[in-house]
Amino acid sequence: MKICFVTTGDVSVMATMKRSTGMAESLIRLGNVVSIIALDCPANRERFSYECPNAKILYFSKASVTREQQQKKDLLHLEAPDLVYVASLGFRNWLHRFNINTPNTRCVVEHSELTSSIKNFSHSRRWAYRFLEFLCPFIYDGQVVASKYLYNHFLNSILTKGAEKILYSPYAFNKNILVLDKVKLRSLREEYKGQKVVLYMGTLRGNYGFFDLIEAAIILKKQNINLRLLVIGGGSHKDLGMAMVKKKKLDKVVKFLGYVQEEDLGMYFKIADVFVSPLYNTTQDWARCPGKLFMYYPFNRPIVTCRVGEALELLPDNEYFYNEGSASDMADKIQKGLDSNIVISRCDVSQHEWKARSQDLITWSQKL
- Strands of 214-273 (E only): list them: 227-232, 254-258
Number of other residues whose CB lies within 10 A of the CB of residue 284: 18
pLDDT in 10s for each residue of the chain, 368 residues = 999 999 999 988 788 898 999 999 999 999 999 999 999 999 999 999 999 999 999 999 999 999 999 999 999 999 999 999 999 999 999 999 999 988 889 999 999 999 888 887 888 999 999 999 999 999 999 999 999 999 999 988 755 557 899 999 999 999 899 999 999 999 999 999 999 999 999 989 888 899 999 999 999 998 888 999 999 998 899 999 999 999 999 999 999 999 898 889 999 999 999 999 999 999 999 999 999 999 999 999 999 999 999 999 999 999 999 999 999 999 999 999 999 866 666 667 889 999 999 999 999 999 98
pLDDT at 104: 86
Q: Residue 14 class from Cβ within 10 Å (0-12 exposed, 13-18 middle, 19+ buried)?
A: middle
Phi and psi at residue 234, to the nearest 5°: -140, 175
What is the per-residue DSSP string for 2-55? Answer: EEEEE--S-TTT-GGGHHHHHHHHHHHHTT-EEEEEEE--HHHHHHHHHH-TTS
Q: H/E element holding 156? A: none
CATH fit for domain 176-350, picks 3.40.50.2000, 3.40.50.10440, 3.40.50.460, 3.30.450.190: 3.40.50.2000
The amino acid sitting at 19 is R
Q: Where in the chain is the domain with CATH 3.40.50.2000?
A: 2-172+353-365, 176-350
State residue 85's pLDDT score.
98
CA-CA-CA-CA dihedral for 151, 155, 160, 163, to nearest 10: 90
What angle in degrees, to the nearest 10, is found between the helix axes of 210-221 and 238-247? 20
| Structure confidence at residue 103 (pLDDT) | 81
Alpha carbon distance 19, 134 (integer Å): 24
**Residue in 84, 40, 82 with CA at minimum distance from that of residue 58:** 40
Q: What is the pLDDT of residue 253?
A: 94
Q: Would you say how long the chain is, in residues?
A: 368
Residue 114: other Cβ atoms inside 10 A? 23
In terms of C-beta density within 10 A (0-12 exposed, 13-18 middle, 19 or more buried), how is residue 153 classed? Answer: buried
Is the CB of residue 7 less than 8 Å from the CB of residue 88? yes
Separation between Cα atoms, residue 200 and residue 7, nearest integer Å: 26
- Please check whether residue 41 is in contact with residue 67, taking contact to mean a CB–CB distance below 8 angstroms: no
CATH number attached to the domain at 2-172+353-365: 3.40.50.2000
- Could you say which DSSP state residue 117 is in? G
Give the integer Cα–Cα distance in Å for 226 and 236: 29
DSSP bridge partners of 274: 198
pLDDT at 224: 83
What's the whole-model pTM score? 0.92
Judge contact between 163 and 155, C-beta under 8 A: yes
Neighbouring C-beta atoms of residue 109, cutoff 10 Å: 26
Contact between 361 and 166 under an 8 Å Cβ cutoff? The reply is no
